[in-house]
């Protein structure tokens, strides 16, 4: 199993969607690349993300990027749906340089590459979100989500 971190706006919908994909072994809601080791205090630059454990013999980083692009607006800086702010930026983070290379290759092969604002960065910090945010849409299906329901359930 390998681990990668995906940011696609509000993490509730991103987690719900990723859980349905082939090769996914676990997900966890969290915060990527902030400066704090805690959930307390002022905003510290993090991106809401989903820690994603996957089986690389079933699904590749490039395939996962394709799935991510189904649920995000890759041209929107710090905004997905009604969620606005730096913490809602889109990105791919990993401690594995090969993952980052594959993600950059995916982006570089697109003819709209120069318009895309999706970050691809090394993971420098990760903090697990509070329990209330873990699998939030499964617990509270009527909460707001920027991803249309038919897309959330596309791979179920």
Residue by residue, DSSP assigns 111-156 as TTGGG---EEEE---EEEPPGGGTTHHHH-TTS--SS-HHHHTTT-
Half-sphere exposure of residue 147: CA atoms within 13 angstroms, side-chain side: 25
**Helical H segments across 39-114, by residue range:** 61-71, 97-108
Which residues belong to the active site? 10
Q: Enter the DSSP assignment of 102.
A: H
With contact defined as beta carbons under 8 Å apart, do 137 and 11 qualify?
no
The alpha carbon of 131 is separated from its chain's Cα centroid by a whole number of angstroms, namely 18
CB-CB contact of 138 with 109 (8 Å): no
Q: Which two tokens stand for residue 66?
A: 């394709």
């Amino acid at each position: 199993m390998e681990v990668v971190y995906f940011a696609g706006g509000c993490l509730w919908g991103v987690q719900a969607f990723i859980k349905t994909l082939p090769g996914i072994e676990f997900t966890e809601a969290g915060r990527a690349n902030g400066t704090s080791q805690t959930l307390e205090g002022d905003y510290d630059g993090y991106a809401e993300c989903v820690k994603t454990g996957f089986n690389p013999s079933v699904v590749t980083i490039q395939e996962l990027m394709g799935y991510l692009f189904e649920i995000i607006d890759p041209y929107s800086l710090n905004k997905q749906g009604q969620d606005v702010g730096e913490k809602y930026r889109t990105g791919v983070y990993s401690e594995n340089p090969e993952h980052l290379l594959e993600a950059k290759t995916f982006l570089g092969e697109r003819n709209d590459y120069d318009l895309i604002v999706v970050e691809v960065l090394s993971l420098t910090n990760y903090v697990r979100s509070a329990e209330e945010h873990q699998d939030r849409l499964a617990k509270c299906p009527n909460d707001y989500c920027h991803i249309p329901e038919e897309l959330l359930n596309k791979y179920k």
